[in-house]
Amino acid sequence: MNDIPWRERVFEDFEVGDRCEHRLARTVTGYDNMLVTLLTQNPAPLHLNHHFVAQAGHERVPLNSTLTLALVTGQSVADLTPNVMTNLGWSDVRLPAPAYEGDTIYSESRIESLRESSKRPTVGIVGIKTLGYTQDGTVVIEFVRTVMMYRRGCVPAQVRPQPNEAVSR
């Protein structure tokens, strides 16, 4: 068992099979769903028209799937990938059940693969399988995200602005 906090880990600190229950969760509102639907110019009536939703057999408005993907990805970033150089992509994205407005979304991730980068000695490649699920445990999304993770001693320092010296008036 690795005692290094999730947020502080670099490539060498992960092992295949490591599992993290993400600490962030979010109850998704109708406003959230509408905002993402409009921002992404998604005209699907499934997210905009309550009458259509009822005719399609849903009791509530389903979440825009890009919102579900972004939300669950974001939940994993806070814990697993603050030391990432870049996101390489998502694969095997599945939506086994719908999520609805009013659901609370939780997530967890498992490290699926680790390998050296053939081009960049300062990073390694990490494959992370993430599941998003509702308050009743229903899995609503699963995917594999591949990232370039910094190696120990290679994480760039975060540059913070320094407070101004005494300001003369």
Measured distance CA(80)–CA(127) in Å, rounded: 11
Would you tell me the crossing angle of helices 30-39 and 65-80 to the nearest 10 degrees? 100
Measured distance CA(10)–CA(13) in Å, rounded: 5
Under the phi-then-psi rule, with left for phi > 0, alpha for psi from -120 to 50, and beta for the rest, what region is 3?
Answer: alpha
The mean pLDDT value for 144-169 works out to: 77
Measured distance CA(149)–CA(14) in Å, rounded: 10
Give the torsion sign (CA, 34, 73, 143, 28): negative
The mean pLDDT value for 1-7 works out to: 79
User: What pLDDT, in 10s, does the model give residues 69-82?
Assistant: 999 999 999 888 88
Average pLDDT, the chain: 91
Q: Are strands 139-150 and 123-133 parallel, antiparallel or unpaired?
A: antiparallel
- The CATH superfamily holding the domain 6-150 is Hotdog Thioesterase (3.10.129.10)
Q: Where are the beta strands (DSSP E) in 1-73?
A: 19-21, 26-27
DSSP-derived 3-state class of residue 111? strand
Confidence band for 166, pLDDT divided at 50, 70 and 90: low
Note the pLDDT of residue 128: 97
User: What pLDDT, in 10s, does the model give residues 89-130?
Assistant: 999 999 999 999 999 999 999 999 999 999 999 999 999 999
Total-model pTM: 0.86
Nearby residues of 74 by Cβ (< 8 Å), 6 or more positions away: 24
End-to-end CA gap in the chain:
56
Under the phi-then-psi rule, with left for phi > 0, alpha for psi from -120 to 50, and beta for the rest, what region is 38?
Answer: alpha
Measured distance CA(147)–CA(124) in Å, rounded: 8
Please name every residue paired with 82 in a beta bridge, in sequence order, or none if there are none.
Answer: none
